[in-house]
Structure 1
Amino acid sequence: MVVPGAVAALTALAVAGCSSGSSSSSATSAGAGAAGAASGAAAPAGANQLQADYQKVIADVLPSVVQITTATGLGSGIVYDDKGDIVTNAHVVGTATTFTVTLANSTKPLDAALVASYPDSDLAVIKLSSPPGGLKPATFGDSGKVQLGQITLAMGSPLGLSSSVTEGIVSATGRTVSEPNSPGSPGAVIGNMVQTSAAINPGNSGGALVNLDSQVIGINTLAATEPETNGAAAPGIGFAIPASTVTNIANQLIKDGKVTNSGRAALGITARTYFDQNFRPAGAVVVAVAAGGPADSAGIQVGDVITKVGDTPVDSLNSLTTALASLTPGAKTTVGYTRDGRDQTAEVTLGTLQTP
């Protein structure tokens, strides 16, 4: 289960602090001999350099991260260009069309209006009504170069605490995540997400996940939750929409006000969950096939029940959507299905999900 990071605006917040003990430094200072002294001298130099790297990234990128407030809550956003366009999550804007935006270097709220939203990828763009001079657009990195173990900084307004920064690493790449379907979330299924151990809390949504080259590698979107603890956040498991998806969708929303190329794989069918004789979900039944589309070209017909995509079992429409979200248009995959009670397979070259 996952929860998006938008949060209701807070009027007050109690914060408890803690400090680590000094046992580590005491043990180091207790070391005797030249080797111990050399070891003790080297560690602070490395730590100081890493600290300087962090501070440089924060100085470079934090001015590009804003706080977005709606009538019902708040989230974060990233300055996309010097014309006042700001990219954020669709679940941050919700159904609102007007917003107030607070820049990192200002306490004066600025008016903004919705450009367009694309809930299928949980992305949206808003625009400042009167962009001030000196806006600093963020630099977006190459998602294909994101590697496991890279240091990341998550910037945003968790719990309404604007211009906050947390740190972690890239824990995984290529994750496919299903958002909860609720009034505060579009319920999107998003592929190729970046998993990070940097803390992502309510209010971080729409903020920046940044590497040490001061590049945005993703938009902070949601954190995992633990079902056994009634939805409490699972520490250290957060997800960000990759930069390549962000720039692809944002460019279209700014230029055309809509998305015409989703970048998402599709079979070219309309389907629904199929239930077996015991009323258990057992696949996705095809109810319409686009003429000349990928499924049609592969011989898949109305009434076929899809049970597998590649090596991924399919027992519902949602699992079919999730399986396709991890693939890309143009890729070839094997689709398993049943027709008249017989198991069959088809080789399909995937197309692109069409948008309204």
Structure 2
Amino acid sequence: MDVSRGRPRPRARRPLLPLTAACAVALVLAPGCAGGGVPAVREGATTTRAAVPRAANELEEDYRKVVDDVLPSVVQIRAGDSLGSGVVYDGKGHVVTNAHVVGDARTFAVTTANSGSTVRARLVYAYPEQDLAVIRLDDVPDGLRAASFGDSSKVDVGQIVLAMGSPLGLSSSVTQGIVSATGRTVTEGSAGGGTGATLVNMVQTSAAINPGNSGGALVNLAGQVIGIPTLGATDPNLGEGAAPGIGFAIPASMVRTVADQIITHGRVTDSGRAALGLTGRTLAGGDYRPAGVAVVTVDEDGPADRAGLRAGDVVTALDGTDVTTLTSLAEALADRRPGDRVAVAYLRDGRERTARVTLGEQ
């Protein structure tokens, strides 16, 4: 009895054929060599390649259209000995990228996707606190196309996305994945050129994010940039090895907010990021574990100063959230806005105290 779609129907008995090596390989590469409702191939029959489902063809066409539409807006940026990516922001030659891509450089060599020629560019402004920067091309080449930025609030988990950039120096590369999560808060390392910034509302994606992808484009199937790929997760069990399939992108809404201010004012005038107005360092306790943030200096007439904090105090909590390191303090502040009032627990001369602080702006 052969098995086909629907109910089985009786047929004349035929000799069984041995499972060939070719069929065994096909079971690994694609379903349908045996079982799954596909009839066995009769001896002497002519075989043809299975038709690609219409839905797969349509999805492939969607991919091709997005690549054709967006890739001309993605450039490779060389800053000294470092390579990264950028996205053309407007028709005036402004390119948005990561602050850690530009580093300390002020001039850059930019390669466009549709020409392969190198164009010189200069830094407009870098904002390490959000790991974003804007550079401007000295000359705008023909065919350069500004990207379309989407609405970050409409990004959904499970949405198909493409990451475009220059991973490992391979320009105009495209990888595919989904949106794995939204609203992530992550902190960059400061080693290896990172800014050490704590970034909020990040888009997590399974699309491969490798060195060189930074500053490129995370794109939906409508051809809109929904984020700027910035960093990949690392697995502590692998030392500094990357954790595959876990990358993060700065949402398009934040990119537009920062880039528009830089282009208009030459700097960021309204960060929207809350601050205590102090500098500190992580303090280790008697067991050598992080035990709080020791205040090194307070900004004169800043939030901490006005609330009575001073150098030598040790911040241990913010609104009930434990603070053990500078990173944990930054993460506790990440969800706050300038003007919010918070309770800051701290130690002074070994005694626990609490101050009410009206947060300022970073």
TM-score normalised per structure 1:
0.81
SS, match of residue 33 in structure 2:
helix
Bigger RCO of structures 1 and 2 (CA < 8 A, at least 6 apart): 1
RMSD: 2.8
1:285-310, Cα deviation, whole Å (9 max, x unpaired):
34555566544666656654322224
1:187 counterpart residue number: 196
2:171 counterpart residue number: 162
**Residue among 336, 346, 360 paired with 1:351:** 360
Task: Kindly report which structure 2 residues correspond to 1:43-54, keeping only aligned pairs within 5 A, or say none.
Answer: 44-54=53-63
Q: 1: distance between equivalents of 2:165 and 2:325?
A: 36
Seen in structure 2, the aligned counterparts of structure 1 residues 27 and 327 have a Cα distance that, compared at 3 Å, is farther
Which amino acid counterpart does residue 103 of structure 1 have in structure 2? Answer: T
1:108, distance to aligned residue in structure 2 (A): 1.4
SS, match of residue 213 in structure 1:
coil
Task: Kindly report which structure 2 residues correspond to 1:117-156, keeping only aligned pairs within 5 A, or say none.
Answer: 117-156=126-165
Is 1:173 the counterpart of 2:182? The answer is yes
Calculate percent identity across the aligned residue pairs.
60
Seen in structure 2, the aligned counterparts of structure 1 residues 58 and 27 have a Cα distance that, compared at 3 Å, is farther
CA contact (8 A) 1:174 1:326 kept: no
Seen in structure 2, the aligned counterparts of structure 1 residues 73 and 28 have a Cα distance that, compared at 3 Å, is farther
**Residue among 255, 261, 274 paired with 2:264:** 255
SS, match of residue 253 in structure 1:
helix
1:232-289, Cα deviation, whole Å (9 max, x unpaired):
1110011111112212222222223222222212123333333445554311234555
CA contact (8 A) 1:175 1:195 kept: yes
1:91-136, Cα deviation, whole Å (9 max, x unpaired):
2112222222111111211111222212222211111111123321
1:61-117, Cα deviation, whole Å (9 max, x unpaired):
111101112330211100011000111111211222222211111121111122221
Which amino acid counterpart does residue 234 of structure 2 have in structure 1? Answer: T
CA contact (8 A) 1:192 1:326 kept: no
Task: Kindly report which structure 2 residues correspond to 1:193-272, keeping only aligned pairs within 5 A, or say none.
Answer: 193-272=202-281
Seen in structure 2, the aligned counterparts of structure 1 residues 174 and 347 have a Cα distance that, compared at 3 Å, is farther
1:336 counterpart residue number: 345
1:60, distance to aligned residue in structure 2 (A): 1.7
Is 1:64 the counterpart of 2:73? The answer is yes
1:26 counterpart residue number: 33
Is 1:305 the counterpart of 2:322? The answer is no
Q: 2: distance between equivalents of 1:153 and 1:176?
A: 22
Q: 2: distance between equivalents of 1:42 and 1:337?
A: 68
**Residue among 76, 87, 90 paired with 2:96:** 87
Following TM superposition, the consecutive aligned residue runs of length 4 or more in structure 1 with deviations greater than 6 angstroms are: none
Q: 1: distance between equivalents of 2:237 and 2:309?
A: 40
TM-score normalised per structure 2:
0.80
Seen in structure 2, the aligned counterparts of structure 1 residues 328 and 196 have a Cα distance that, compared at 3 Å, is farther
- Between 1:330-339 and 1:75-84, the stretch displaced more is 330-339
1:166, distance to aligned residue in structure 2 (A): 0.7
